[in-house]
Amino acid sequence: MAPSKLRKAIGAVKDQTSISLAKVGSTDSLSDLEVAIVKATRHEELPPEERHVREILSLTRYSRAHVAACVTAVSRRLSRTRNWVVAAKALMLVHRLLRDGDAAYEHEVFFATRRGTRLLNMSDFRDASRSEDSWDFSAFVRTYALYLDEQLEFRMQNRRRKRRGFTYDEEEGEEEEEAAAAARALTPAKEMSNELVYSRIHHYVHILQRFLACKPTG
């Protein structure tokens, strides 16, 4: 069997094993969630299937506990893999969840990353396939994760209160804070202070540079 076919076969076995473990290791709802995450991040060199992503979004909508469970499951998936396909698809899933998922995803992903969990902390990721393109694939995963992390950091800064820090216990007034952040985001540039305009420009240029750096090479 050719090395590439062998790797695909091993990847398929790993995926099926992860699915089987998820089915017996959790409650029904969480089991469905973990199975959908594995299926959305299979070893196949294809984009995540939309139906699996939609299932994850549906299972975690309006449930902070399920959002936290989803973030933990994706982090565990990333911490265990040395395959660039799985890592890239997991990051694509995180990207989609931050964009279309419950608002709680921003807080969960942000703080999970800052606690050092393997989520957007991919600076030491290395693909273990030893293929001739593995270095380029690994570099893409690291750069993509950094882009997502800094984009999320900018969004969280816009929501942060004037006083230092933010904790999960600060539920009172959280809706008012998010409404204020949304209002600031919609403020016309001509009504902003020069300092705020320069700060926004700096952040947008920096994020744009990170985005452009995600262009695959090799």
Q: What is the pLDDT along the chain (218 residues), one digit of tens a residue?
A: 445 665 666 666 566 666 666 655 555 668 899 999 999 999 999 999 999 999 999 999 989 999 999 999 999 999 999 999 999 999 999 999 999 999 999 999 999 988 888 889 999 999 988 778 889 999 999 999 999 999 998 888 877 644 344 444 444 455 445 545 444 555 676 777 777 777 778 888 888 888 888 887 76
- Single out the residue of 77, 73, 72 nearest to residue 87, CA to CA: 77
CATH number of the domain residue 130 falls in: 1.25.40.90
Q: Is 153 contained in some domain?
A: no
Are the C-beta atoms of 75 and 118 separated by less than 8 Å?
yes
Q: Is 96 contained in some domain?
A: yes
Q: Is 81 contained in some domain?
A: yes
Q: Is 161 contained in some domain?
A: no
Q: At 211, which amino acid appears?
A: F
- The whole domain housing 103 covers 5-144
Residue 73 in tokens: 């499951």
Q: Is 66 contained in some domain?
A: yes
Number of domains in the chain: 1
> What is the DSSP code (8-state) at residue 101?
S
How many residues can be counted in the chain? 218
> What is the DSSP code (8-state) at residue 53?
H
pTM: 0.77
- Single out the residue of 95, 96, 203 nearest to residue 149, CA to CA: 95
Q: Is 23 contained in some domain?
A: yes
Q: At 218, which amino acid appears?
A: G
Residue 20 in tokens: 């089987």
Q: Is 133 contained in some domain?
A: yes
Q: Is 93 contained in some domain?
A: yes
Handedness of CA 135, 136, 142, 146 (dihedral sign): positive
The model's pLDDT over 124-181, given as tens digits with 9 standing for 90+, comes to: 999 988 778 889 999 999 999 999 999 998 888 877 644 344 444 444 455 445 545 4
The Cα 92–Cα 141 span in angstroms is 10
